Chain A
Amino acid sequence: MRPLTDEETKTMFEKLSKYIGDNIKLLVDRPDGSYCFRLHNDRVYYMSEKILKLATHISRDKLVSVGTCFGKFTKTIKFRLHITALDFLAPYAKFKVWVKSGAEQSFLYGNHVLKAGLGRITENTMQYQGVVVYSMTDVPLGFGVAAKSTLECRQVDPMSIVVFHQADVGEFIRNEDTLT
């Protein structure tokens, strides 16, 4: 386990800021202690410093996971955000999309969100803005990228995609293996 290099930190924060803007500092300086990111086996883990101390006792090949995994760096040093980060993205999300109950299941299977399934969307969403997807009962279902800005969403036909799927909670069942 090692701390992230500056490059890696930059890449990751860029990705995160797409969803939560400049609330990233709220992730690091928390009232209940300071948290940090660490890299292990190409994956970025978010943990409090207390757990960090504990985890150093465990040898590298035996350590499987610490705290929460946010995502991983691909072979070409791009950062891919995983669904496991949802719990930390959702409260700080800048732009949200609510999905109708009928289209919930479709999104959970990994499909994009169509205009027909769109319940609500925050104002001023830019095109290609990172958004967090909620169900109508305010349960976070995943995140994605807005395919259309809010204004366009109003005008476009019902079968066109409004949110590109990036990650959804259904992956806990579908892709259990890729979590580690």
Chain B
Amino acid sequence: MGRKLDPTNTVKRGPGRKSRKQKGAETELAKFITDGDYQMFLKTHNNWISIDEHWEEEEEEEEQTKQTKKGAKDQGKKSAKLGIKEVEEEEDDDDDEMVDDYGALLPIERAAKKEKKKKETMAQESDDDDDDDDEEEDEDGGDKEKKSDADSDEEDTVQANMDEMDAFRLPDAEECEKESIIPLDLKTIYQRIKDNVDVLCNFSTKREVGKERSEYISLLKKDLCTYYSYNNFLIEKLMDLFPLSELVDFLEANEIQRPVTIRTNTLKTRRRDLAQALINRGVNLDPLGKWSKVGLVIYDSSVPVGATPEYLSGQYMLQGASSFLPVMALSPQEGELVLDMSSAPGGKTTYIAQLMRNTGMIVANDANADRLKSVVGNVHRLGVTNTVICNYDGRQFPKVMSGFDRVLLDAPCSGTGVIAKDPAVKTSKDEADIQRSAHLQKELILSAIDSVNAESSSGGYLVYCTCSIMVEENEWVVDYALKKRNVKLVPIGLDFGKEGFTRFKERRFHPTLRLTRRFYPHSHNMDGFFVAKFKKFSNVVPTATAGKEKDITDAPEATAVTGSPEEKPSKSDKKKKTVPGKAGDLKGKPQANGTAAKKTANIKKKGKRDSPAGPKKAKIAKMDGETVQEAEAKKPAVKTADDTKASKAEKKEGSRFEKKQGKNRKATTKANGRMGKNKFRKLKNMLRKKGGE
């Protein structure tokens, strides 16, 4: 054969007569190939050997494969096993060039077979239901065993399906009843799942006429729940998150454990030396990946990995690969002040300490006193000396201490990413649990943000991470934080992982959510994880509603409406509406800002006290009418009052200050000693009356 024929990529046929005449190499080849000759082709790949030589061998193989099939457990993988078996047999021929995983068919041969099959099935009329059984039974028969290639199997069934009504038929009411009495065995369910997914992926071509997509999906859900032992709620959530093909991979990945990984403690040893010492003890290990310089993955070990003298002397720590990620994203520098809000059992805290080389200070906090014992143990064992361990509720933390350079929040979550570690999650989680977790996480993230010091010279970062894959606990919480505080998302510094969602079902998140990362067990071979890195750019806390004039608490917390409209929660409050307009105005008049700065400074001196500002504002609000002008007049009044309340922190902020100045631009009327329009009108009236009297 001269040119490389790859029938899998279909070249469009041209318009001319000749293209119609020539059907393609596979059809030509199909004329030569008979099933009997098939074994020959399997082995002889590139070399053409005479048919007679291999005839006897072929017969032998037929018998062998028949026997092996009976032993095969998983029907779905039967053909794969077949393929492997045959590859093993063919290894006698020492054909290294058979590259295919499952065996020995060249693409051209596969296509040729397809053609043949097509012709055969055209003639046949077999029952839908039987077709499934047919596949299984036929494999015991003479013909199908030649299908050594799993792919070819699927392709043939595809062809068969296309030609009849779809091979996968939804069970009708009777069958459902039967199933409830006598449940199907797992093999059948698994096969049904596979077929169902297959149909759903090519729905238009493979559907059963008259059956709706929702019926297929509900059957799939039921089967998945039974086969993988999940509750309905979780399966539905997972179906929303993953496309169907990935869903099965994800569920499969949750059935097996992730590999055991350890982290070298660079305060006491080097990875090279540790690896050597462990190998000497009989541990089979490898570096974790090029993304980590301290990770090692353990394949197997003759000694317990958690009890070696190296472990006890603190040279390494057992830690999941996904737990490396948030600390790498945080990248604490030497001499910084770092807070780990949810630190138990202490793996991330100690990693932070080793990255900081025991300089600076770390505060390791956890709300659970029992779990803190493990933090103490790990901190001492690994030789960390710069840590203070405390037992606060994370939500109270800003009151205890704030002004950290970096904060890590590994929030307590529903644990849907670590199902492999804790299978109880499959059945125990429901809507209320997720909502509860999400609520707690939102509170925690706000406290965490408030603990960060935006003015920090080297930091001002917060890393938020969870071991969950639910959007409610991940993207939604991050989006909430973006709305409520002066933070922005920054790249996390890891080049792998799937991007976070910017939209999900009916929700729309901030576009920078792209910078967050999701990790999955089936694609990254680590626990399901979510990491987001924030940078706080202002210590000022924006108010929820500008309309409410609450008591102002501490100096750092200033009620200042931020300039950028995105960060404000959209309310129907009139004031809110005008402010964006104002922000627009401001940008056009920077010079006024400069002058306004001085004026507002004056005003600040005048109206220092908070309390008079409150009722004063209320008074002003009462006096003013309901016109837009009033609103504007109100605005400057409010703004100046705001300014008086605002702390020096505001002055220090660069760009923020300018915007505020811009907002206070309208206050220049007051600053100039002029009064607002309404006041003027009132004064005029008064004077007129007086003049009249």
CB within 8 Å of B: which residues of A? Answer: 47-48, 50-51, 54-55, 57-59, 62-69, 84, 87, 104, 108, 135, 137, 139-141, 169-170, 172-173, 176-177, 179-180
B508 within 8 A of A: no
Is A48 a contact partner of B386 (Cβ separation < 8 A)?
yes
| B residues near A139, Cβ cutoff 8 Å | 309-310, 313, 315
10 pairs from A and B in contact (CB 8 Å cutoff) = A54-B337, A54-B363, A58-B388, A84-B380, A104-B309, A108-B309, A169-B381, A172-B312, A173-B307, A179-B380
Is A63 a contact partner of B388 (Cβ separation < 8 A)?
yes
| A residues near B381, Cβ cutoff 8 Å | 169, 172
Whole-angstrom CA separation of A76 from B412 in the bound complex: 42
Whole-angstrom CA separation of A170 from B372 in the bound complex: 19
> Known contacts A51-B388, A139-B310; is A69 also within 8 Å of B380 by CB?
yes
Task: Name the interface residues of B459-483: CB closer than 8 Å to any CB of A.
Answer: none
Stretch at the interface among B389-397, B561-569, B574-582: B389-397
Is A173 a contact partner of B312 (Cβ separation < 8 A)?
yes
Is B392 a contact partner of A55 (Cβ separation < 8 A)?
no
> Known contacts A51-B386, A69-B380; is A141 also within 8 Å of B373 by CB?
no
- With both beta carbons as reference points, the residue of chain A lying nearest to B401 in the complex is identified as A57
CB distance from A73 to the nearest CB of B (A): 18
B5 within 8 A of A: no
Is B385 a contact partner of A67 (Cβ separation < 8 A)?
yes
Mark interface residues in B391-425 (1 if CB within 8 Å of A CB, else 0). 11000000011000000000000000000000000
Most buried by B among A66, A68, A87: A87
B361 within 8 A of A: yes
Which among B312, B315, B377 is the interface contact of A108 at CB below 8 angstroms?
B312
| B residues near A64, Cβ cutoff 8 Å | 369, 372, 375-376, 389-391
Whole-angstrom CA separation of A87 from B358 in the bound complex: 13
- With both beta carbons as reference points, the residue of chain A lying nearest to B370 in the complex is identified as A177
Is A58 a contact partner of B390 (Cβ separation < 8 A)?
yes
| A residues near B401, Cβ cutoff 8 Å | 54, 57-58
CB distance from A9 to the nearest CB of B (A): 20
Which among A51, A66, A137, A176 is the interface contact of B374 at CB below 8 angstroms?
A176
- With both beta carbons as reference points, the residue of chain B lying nearest to A139 in the complex is identified as B313
Is B387 a contact partner of A67 (Cβ separation < 8 A)?
yes
| A residues near B315, Cβ cutoff 8 Å | 139
- With both beta carbons as reference points, the residue of chain B lying nearest to A134 in the complex is identified as B313
Is B376 a contact partner of A51 (Cβ separation < 8 A)?
no
Is A176 a contact partner of B400 (Cβ separation < 8 A)?
no
Is B373 a contact partner of A177 (Cβ separation < 8 A)?
yes
B76 within 8 A of A: no
CB distance from B502 to the nearest CB of A (A): 39
- State which size class the interface on B falls in: 20 to 34
| B residues near A176, Cβ cutoff 8 Å | 373-374, 377
Whole-angstrom CA separation of A67 from B401 in the bound complex: 18
| B residues near A63, Cβ cutoff 8 Å | 388-391
| B residues near A57, Cβ cutoff 8 Å | 400-401
Is B379 a contact partner of A65 (Cβ separation < 8 A)?
yes
- With both beta carbons as reference points, the residue of chain B lying nearest to A46 in the complex is identified as B385
B287 within 8 A of A: no
> Known contacts A65-B376, A173-B312; is A137 also within 8 Å of B277 by CB?
yes
CB distance from B99 to the nearest CB of A (A): 47
Which among A65, A141, A180 is the interface contact of B309 at CB below 8 angstroms?
A141
CB distance from B186 to the nearest CB of A (A): 39
- 12 additional A-B pairs beyond A141-B313, A172-B377, beta carbons within 8 Å, are A51-B361, A62-B390, A63-B388, A63-B390, A63-B391, A67-B386, A69-B376, A140-B313, A141-B312, A169-B312, A172-B380, A172-B381
CB distance from B620 to the nearest CB of A (A): 41
Is B377 a contact partner of A179 (Cβ separation < 8 A)?
yes
| A residues near B388, Cβ cutoff 8 Å | 51, 54-55, 58, 63, 65-67
> Known contacts A54-B363, A63-B390; is A169 also within 8 Å of B313 by CB?
yes
B383 within 8 A of A: yes
| A residues near B377, Cβ cutoff 8 Å | 172, 176, 179
The 10 closest A-B pairs by CB, nearest first: A169-B312, A84-B380, A65-B389, A64-B389, A180-B376, A57-B401, A172-B381, A58-B390, A176-B377, A87-B383
Is B372 a contact partner of A180 (Cβ separation < 8 A)?
yes
CB distance from A54 to the nearest CB of B (A): 5
Whole-angstrom CA separation of A172 from B660 in the bound complex: 56
Most buried by A among B310, B314, B380: B380
Is B385 a contact partner of A47 (Cβ separation < 8 A)?
yes
CB distance from A119 to the nearest CB of B (A): 14
| A residues near B380, Cβ cutoff 8 Å | 68-69, 84, 172, 179
| B residues near A62, Cβ cutoff 8 Å | 390-392
Whole-angstrom CA separation of A55 from B362 in the bound complex: 10
Whole-angstrom CA separation of A105 from B375 in the bound complex: 25
Mark interface residues in B295-328 (1 if CB within 8 Å of A CB, else 0). 0000000000011011011110000000000000
Task: Name the interface residues of B263-316: CB closer than 8 Å to any CB of A.
Answer: 277, 306-307, 309-310, 312-315
| B residues near A180, Cβ cutoff 8 Å | 372-373, 376
Whole-angstrom CA separation of A108 from B311 in the bound complex: 12
Whole-angstrom CA separation of A169 from B376 in the bound complex: 14
| B residues near A50, Cβ cutoff 8 Å | 361
Task: Name the interface residues of B526-584: CB closer than 8 Å to any CB of A.
Answer: none
- With both beta carbons as reference points, the residue of chain B lying nearest to A173 in the complex is identified as B307
| A residues near B389, Cβ cutoff 8 Å | 63-66
| B residues near A65, Cβ cutoff 8 Å | 376, 379, 387-389
Is B361 a contact partner of A54 (Cβ separation < 8 A)?
yes
| B residues near A69, Cβ cutoff 8 Å | 376, 380
Whole-angstrom CA separation of A155 from B634 in the bound complex: 98
Whole-angstrom CA separation of A137 from B379 in the bound complex: 23
- With both beta carbons as reference points, the residue of chain B lying nearest to A87 in the complex is identified as B383
Whole-angstrom CA separation of A59 from B400 in the bound complex: 8
Whole-angstrom CA separation of A50 from B314 in the bound complex: 25
> Known contacts A48-B386, A63-B390; is A179 also within 8 Å of B376 by CB?
yes
| B residues near A172, Cβ cutoff 8 Å | 312, 377, 380-381
